[in-house]
Structure 1
Amino acid sequence: MKSISPNIFVKDIHATINFYTKLGFTVSDEVTTPEGEKIFALMTNGTVVFMFQTFASIEDKLPMVSRADGGSLLMYISVENIRQYYDTIKEQVTLLTGLEKTFYGATEFSLCDNNNYLLTFAEHD
């Protein structure tokens, strides 16, 4: 195995793109229907890759994906220069925790994205 790129289902892909742009991600690929509706976006920041896809685009195709946004999933993202990154985004998002040193030696902070997913950013010494 080489990597994992979660495909995260969302209700509003435009709001999701706007939110993750604030975190320093850029759209590197997208899919639009013939009618012009954006239904998928691949966003990257360094080597971190997220795929976002609308719930509407999978209706009747993947019936097991029927839950609301968010859930009991935490995306743990390793970063370098966490204090600088934290200072860059802290005024643009709602933070759940500030910078904290954990018992296992990492410096972390957490936030909830616009889809109610939990993101924890960490730097290990």
Structure 2
Amino acid sequence: MIQFKSIRPILWTNNLEESITFYCTVLGFKLDEKNADWGWASLTKEEVNLMLALPNEHTFIEKIGFSGSLYFEVTEVDKLWEEIKDKAKICYPPEVFEWGMKEFALYDNNGYLLQFGTAQ
């Protein structure tokens, strides 16, 4: 039986160093590996893995971004909000939604929508 074991998004960026700085300083990710020749980096925070990459000859990208968001389930959404609310462009502040999650959202340095939520 085929099993899907994990998902590891690759976020395209026009500025690899700026993106590494955002994820490491604002969200507390750790840079695990970087290859400047490839224009690629791998980051982790606890059980979350992300990759960052410069567009290359295999991709046709007119504009950095996508029509969706990355949703991070966290343990203490209010505490996280207090730590990062002044460090990034905010989409919406903490709110409890009818589906039982308290969440907020912000934009990273590339304009990707990042949502953070804790079950209530």
Task: Assess same fold via TM > 0.5.
Answer: yes
Q: For 2:105 and 2:23, locate their aligned partners in 1 and report how far apart those are by CA, in whole Å.
A: 14
Q: For 2:68 and 2:9, locate their aligned partners in 1 and report how far apart those are by CA, in whole Å.
A: 11
Percent identical residues: 28
Query: Which letter maps to 1:67?
Result: E
One of 13, 17, 20 as aligned partner of 1:17: 20
Q: Which residue number corresponds to residue 98 of structure 1?
A: 93
Q: Which residue number corresponds to residue 26 of structure 1?
A: 30
Q: CA deviation at 1:83?
A: 0.8
Q: CA deviation at 1:32?
A: 2.4
One of 2, 6, 13 as aligned partner of 1:3: 6
Provide runs of 4+ in structure 1 moved above 4 Å: none
User: CA contact under 8 A between 1:97 and 1:110: conserved in structure 2?
Assistant: yes
One of 70, 76, 80 as aligned partner of 1:75: 70
Q: For 2:64 and 2:118, locate their aligned partners in 1 and report how far apart those are by CA, in whole Å.
A: 27
TM-score (norm 2): 0.90
Q: CA deviation at 1:100?
A: 0.4
Structure 2 stretches lacking a partner, 5+ long:
none
Q: Which residue number corresponds to residue 48 of structure 2?
A: 48
SS at the partner of 2:23?
Answer: helix
RMSD of aligned alpha carbons: 1.3
Q: For 1:32 and 1:15, locate their aligned partners in 2 and report how far apart those are by CA, in whole Å.
A: 13
